[in-house]
Amino acid sequence: MAQLDQMLYANRTFAEGFDRGDLPMPPARSVAVLACMDARLHPEKFLGLEIGDAHVIRNAGGRASDDAIRSLIISSRLLGTREFVVVHHTDCGMLTFSNDDLRGKLAADTGGDASGIDFLPFSDLEQSVRDDVALIKASPFIDPDITVTGFVYDVKTGKLNAV
Ligand SMILES: [Zn+2]
């Protein structure tokens, strides 16, 4: 509970100074970011985004999973975003295992069968960005006029490199 207590303490301080309660729901910058959940990535900071500016969708790998695309459809069709940015990164954990590896571990740890789950690992970082940009663009529910750009974030330098 120590971590939770610390976070709740931080939230009390945050809320005491909070003055952005009147922001509209649609992102002010009309941008959606799809990024890996890696703890070393802080998309709002490395992209200069303030509260209310953008949708930031995160999952393991920053993959264009069905659920990420679900969020992007809602982001653009209902909340007006017009530009998507996909961010994968160096030293990603998704480079370190295969579906079979994780399924085997889960079977050993739990006895359960995870053969129906694609964990979306990848072995080629830049290709994974290209694949996800292409998947998003291929959705019939994403407006083809939306700009979709892919990047690799370097966890050593903090720099984004276009793919
Ligand atoms: Zn990652």
Q: How many residues are listed for the chain in this entry?
A: 163
pLDDT of residue 42: 98
pLDDT of residue 87: 98
Rounded distance from Cα 88 to ligand 1 centre (Å): 6
pLDDT of residue 94: 98
Rounded distance from Cα 38 to ligand 1 centre (Å): 5
Alpha helix positions (H), the chain:
2-16, 43-46, 66-73, 99-110, 125-138
Ordered mean pLDDT values, 10 residues apiece, the chain (163 residues)? 94 97 98 98 98 98 98 98 98 98 98 98 98 98 98 98 98
Single-letter amino acid, residue 70 = R
pLDDT of residue 3: 96
Within 10 angstroms of residue 70's Cβ, the number of other Cβ atoms is 13
pLDDT of residue 76: 98
Beta bridge partners of 160: 153
pTM value is 0.96
Rounded distance from Cα 153 to ligand 1 centre (Å): 10
CATH 3.30.390.50 for domain 29-162? no
Single-letter amino acid, residue 114 = A
pLDDT of residue 143: 98
pLDDT of residue 142: 98
Rounded distance from Cα 19 to ligand 1 centre (Å): 33
